[in-house]
Copies of this chain bind each other. A is one copy, B any other.
Amino acid sequence: MDSIFSDRITDVPRSFIREILKVAIDPTIISFAGGLPNRAFFPVDELRDAVGRVFDINGRDIFQYSNSEGCLQLREYISHRYKKQNLNIPVENILITSGSQQGLDLLGKTLLNEGDGLIIEQPGYLGAIQAFSIYKPAFCPVPVSDDGMNLQALQQVIESGEPKLMYTVPNFQNPSGISYTEQNRADVAHILRKTKTLLIEDDPYRELRFRGSGKTSFQALLPDRTILLGSFSKIIVPGFRLGWLAAPAHIMEKIIVAKQATDLHTTHFTQSIIYHYLKQNNLEDHIARIRDAYGRQCQAMLDSIEQYFPKSVKYTKPEGGMFLWAELPDNLTALELFEIAVKDRVIFVPGDPFYVNKTNTNTLRLNFSCVDAETITVGIQRLARAINKLMETKS
């Protein structure tokens, strides 16, 4: 190929979501398309206080080049918080990243050769598909549904050539909102234990559970082979681009080499702001407020869907997070629905970008974190009208 570009960059899917979000600027449109945390819960005043303390306490050194692993106090905080949740992750195994997205890039960089097998959920997180595409793996999609991963399909994929990596979002998955049950986690762990496959457990929504009980992390089930990703984006602010990656020591060593080659280190200034914020404020109370709001909004969406959608539309019932997932009757596509819905001033993300090998699917992602309950009801009514309209044209 006579291109000036690398092969890897030509393989990366364009972000369809970015295109959709351009439509969302119109204030008369009700958008279930976003993937944003609700800005009403950004603790702006508390962060302002925390910045003052960074200047008072850290002084000049916070502005110098610093270590690649990240701010020690913040990593200690993360380690202690995991300890309270019965996860044993020493500080040395934690690296601060520029958001979870960078964690995914560093893992692709460190672990993937071209053509390496990578198990990915179907549907799966678009950002992960983009990050990993750069490193040209062989994607092995395994379906997920209400219980978690399809065990038979997982077994088949493993038998047909033991993929090197598996990527999972076991809590309130993006895009589907589903969570793996305890039994499903145990079964997945049992299957993986017989392989050499490494597990990437991406857990940004962990703390946003508004219903049901917390589940066991894969990091606890498979500690020697799990790389756990976390993020401050959904519980404090996304704009600081701060997340972390917890990996066994022998893997961490190489990830730090990749981190140095990639950007030397993530700024310690924002890390220190977050640390001082966490030290002075009650994070549990803050998260509880977010959870309550998201839970109410999710319930409003579920109630409206129950009331207004045709019964032939299936949908998930999330226990946390920011998204739910709907499946139209087989003969409809979400892209067709989008065309009709946008005219009635409601939008969502058609399911296609969440698959590595499917187009014109009948699935869609609905976000409930950024829209209040009343608006959700209006939006779902509009969307129901659009579905009915589309069904009429097909009957």
Contact = CB atoms under 8 A, between A and B. Distances in A.
A22 to B, nearest CB: 11
A20 interface: no
3 interchain residue pairs of minimum CB distance: A63-B237, A63-B239, A102-B263
A251 interface: yes
A287 interface: no
Contacts of A263: 98-99, 101-102, 105, 241
Contact of A257 (B12, B48, B63, B113): B12
A130 B258 CA distance: 9
A270 B269 CA distance: 9
A51 interface: yes
A110 B240 contact: no
Interface string A88-131: 00000000001101100100011111001000000000010011
B63 A5 contact: no
Nearest to A242: B267
A333 interface: no
6 contacts: A5-B254, A6-B112, A12-B261, A47-B63, A239-B268, A240-B269
Contacts of A61: 39
A36 B65 contact: yes
Contacts of A63: 39, 42, 44, 47, 237-240
A134 B258 contact: yes
Interface of A: 4-9, 12, 14-15, 18, 36-37, 39, 42, 44, 47-48, 51, 55, 59-66, 98-99, 101-102, 105, 109-113, 116, 127, 130-131, 133-135, 164, 196, 198, 233, 237-241, 251, 254, 257-258, 260-270
Contacts of A261: 12, 101, 105, 130-131, 133-134
A65 B35 CA distance: 9
Contact of A4 (B14, B59, B251): B251
Contacts of A239: 62-66, 267-269
B6 A111 contact: yes
Contacts of A42: 60, 63-64
Contact of A105 (B47, B133, B262): B262
Contacts of A37: 64
Contacts of A9: 109-110, 254, 257-258
A8 to B, nearest CB: 7
A381 B51 CA distance: 44
A198 B4 contact: yes
Q: How many copies does the complex hold?
A: 2
Given A105-B261, A267-B267, A238 B64 contact: yes
A245 B96 CA distance: 24
Nearest to A264: B101
Given A39-B64, A61-B39, A237-B63, A134 B111 contact: no
Contacts of A265: 241
Contacts of A198: 4
A126 to B, nearest CB: 10
Contacts of A268: 239
B238 A109 contact: no
Contacts of A101: 261-264
A12 B258 CA distance: 8
Contacts of A238: 63-65
A233 B12 CA distance: 31
A117 to B, nearest CB: 13
A330 B7 CA distance: 44
A113 to B, nearest CB: 5
Contacts of A98: 98, 263, 266-267
Contacts of A109: 6, 8-9, 134
B55 A131 contact: no
